Amino acid sequence: MTKNRLSDLNDHLFAQIERLADEDNTPEKIDQEHKRAEAMVGVADQILRTAAVQLQAAKLVSDHDGADPRPYLSMMEKPAADTALKLVAEK
């Protein structure tokens, strides 16, 4: 199975929220986690943009060639890819 799926990104972001919410954090630790969170948000934004491009490519392949678009959705696990394709097809 391929690593670094969108579900992994979700897990990392929620773990960061938990680190930020830790009530035992010192002011220095909060500052450190805040900086880490800002960096993570920047990277996450780029990852989501890449996923959106993959979804657009998959839709183009499906619409124009009738080919299976799932190979173009490498960042999504199969159930998520299927759901994403259904949502795009409805638009």
Burial of 62 (0-12, 13-18, 19+ CB in 10 A): middle
Cα separation, 80 vs 10, in Å, equals 13
Query: What is the domain count for the chain?
Result: 1
Tens-digit pLDDT profile for residues 50-90: 888 888 888 888 888 777 787 777 777 666 666 666 666 66
Do 46 and 81 touch, CB atoms closer than 8 A?
A: no
Q: Taking the model in full, what pTM does it have?
A: 0.70
Do 75 and 4 touch, CB atoms closer than 8 A?
A: yes
Tens-digit pLDDT profile for residues 4-18: 888 889 999 999 999
Provide the domain limits for residue 71. Answer: 6-89
Cα separation, 57 vs 74, in Å, equals 11
In a domain, 11, yes or no: yes
In a domain, 20, yes or no: yes
Cα separation, 57 vs 89, in Å, equals 13
In a domain, 34, yes or no: yes
Cα separation, 28 vs 34, in Å, equals 10
In a domain, 33, yes or no: yes
